Amino acid sequence: MKAPWKIAFGFGVFSPLLFAFGGCAANPATATLKPVGPVSTIVSDKASADGYLMVYTSIIEPNIVPDTMFAPHTGYTIRDRRGNFVRDVRNHIGAWDETPDRVSLPPGRYTVFAKSETGNDMIVPVIIKRAKTTSVDLEWREPGVAKY
């Protein structure tokens, strides 16, 4: 069941982007979103000093055979609050997998540089808290509909 706040969040954040970037297909712009913080405690180790990040970026449709049944997520970059490089994330666990990586990070504020389903570059400030998972959904397929 979709949580009402997730649907409202998706509509509130992504519907203006749809109108703002709808006519910019030839010249994609970069969008900056409001900070995203942890929404769940989906972790296996509550004693961990780190928090976790999962980013549902755009997908790549591999050109292998017409009936290929997987589409891995595109990679993204994480920078700290000062803009220093933290790491590049491949964003899928294996070559034949669609599951985005769950990245372990020390608590703090970071910025994610990723590509959304619309093809636009996105800048998303995120907050990582100890033993919590912060999820960012840039994979939406319909305006206002969250993935979960």
pLDDT digits (tens, 9 = 90+) for 115-135: 888 888 999 999 999 999 999
User: Residue 53: pLDDT band by 50, 70, 90 thresholds?
Assistant: very high
Percent of the chain at pLDDT exceeding 70: 59
Question: What is the predicted pLDDT for the residue at 140?
Answer: 61
In terms of Cα–Cα distance, which of 148, 130, 118, 144 is closest to 51? 130
Give the mean model confidence (pLDDT) for residues 93-120: 87
Higher pLDDT, 104 or 35: 104
Give the mean model confidence (pLDDT) for residues 46-74: 78
Q: Is 4 a residue whose pLDDT tops 50?
A: no
> Would you state the CATH architecture of domain 4-137?
Sandwich (2.60)
Q: Could you tell me the residue ranges of all domains in the chain? A: 4-137
Q: Which residues 6+ apart lie within 8 Å of 124 measured at CB?
A: 32, 33, 36, 55, 111, 112, 114, 136, 138
Question: What is the predicted pLDDT for the residue at 21?
Answer: 43
Question: What is the predicted pLDDT for the residue at 15?
Answer: 46
